[in-house]
Amino acid sequence: MASDTKIRTYGRDAFTSTSVLREKGDTKVSLIIPAANEQNTIRAVVEQMLVHANSGLLDEIIVVNDGSSDDTAAQAAVDGVIVHSLPSQVGKGGAMAEGVKVSHGELLVFLDGDVWGSIDHYVPSLIGPLLAEADTQLVKGYYDRPLGDMPHGGGRVTSLAAQPILRLLYPELSEVRQPLAGETAIRRSALDKVGFASGYQVELALLIDIGEVFGPSAIAEVDLGIRVHRNRPLSELSPMATEVLRVALERRGLL
């Protein structure tokens, strides 16, 4: 484990598509988007990513259709995108794992499929820290999350569950602003050592496991600006918070 416990932080303009493409060289990069019933947003997400496939920054774009009952698969099926459909829902962690199985990149980028607005800068921002520092293993995006008409207030599970959990049980990781961010990049070699947790546990488990195996200094975060997505009702957030708490307690041997 690295002796330096400082998590690297990069600003909004730290990386551009041009600068990251120049550093990429022959490194293969895969983008994986797990999506369950995201017919209203998935096409706009993948269409913005195609610019990076066309430039060579991304070597493949994979949408994992997690047993959707709507038109997610059809909406994602644009030229240049691989749609990998699962017959039934396996949850976010399982969908991400399926995407890794069919991908070929040395660097793996994950994006959620329910995001609105301009997000094309997400990919170079997430890849950049992995190319900038050879010992960086995991990159988490951070951002402002509007709630309704308010510029802040989204990310209620993060504020009420994930961040307090880290402060109490994993203080070395408490600097991470968005521990549950679906906007993530990781080296395949690091992922091979830690694997994926199931369902909504996946993001926090990955953060904790990388911190345990490689040390906090192997984690970086990068400013992605503003993230707009559908805000879920409390009836859906409570099970998510329970899963986040469960995985943290399990990793600490308290459950």
Cβ neighbours for 124, distance < 8 A, ≥ 6 positions apart: 15, 16, 17, 19, 20, 21, 52, 57
> Do the beta carbons of residue 65 and residue 169 sit within 8 Å?
no
pLDDT of residue 154: 47
Any idea which residue has 């990049």 for tokens?
185
- Helix spans in the chain (H): 17-24, 42-55, 72-76, 91-102, 122-132, 156-157, 163-169, 188-194, 202-214, 234-251
Asked if residue 217 has pLDDT above 50, the reply is yes
Tokens of 65: 């259709």
Backbone region of residue 12 per phi and psi (left: phi > 0; alpha: psi in -120 to 50; beta: other values): alpha
Mean per-residue pLDDT, 85-110: 97
pLDDT of residue 153: 45
The full set of domain ranges for the chain reads 8-248
Question: Per the CATH hierarchy, to which homologous superfamily does domain 8-248 belong?
Answer: Spore Coat Polysaccharide Biosynthesis Protein SpsA; Chain A (3.90.550.10)
Tokens of 45: 């997400």
Question: What CA–CA distances, in Å, run from 21 to 35, 56, 176, 214?
Answer: 27, 7, 26, 26
CA distance 144 to 178: 10
> pLDDT-derived band of residue 165, with 50, 70 and 90 as boundaries?
very high
Rg (alpha carbons) of the chain, rounded to whole number: 17
Asked if residue 69 has pLDDT above 90, the reply is yes
Provide the 8-state DSSP code for 70. S
> pLDDT-derived band of residue 1, with 50, 70 and 90 as boundaries?
very low
pLDDT of residue 229: 55
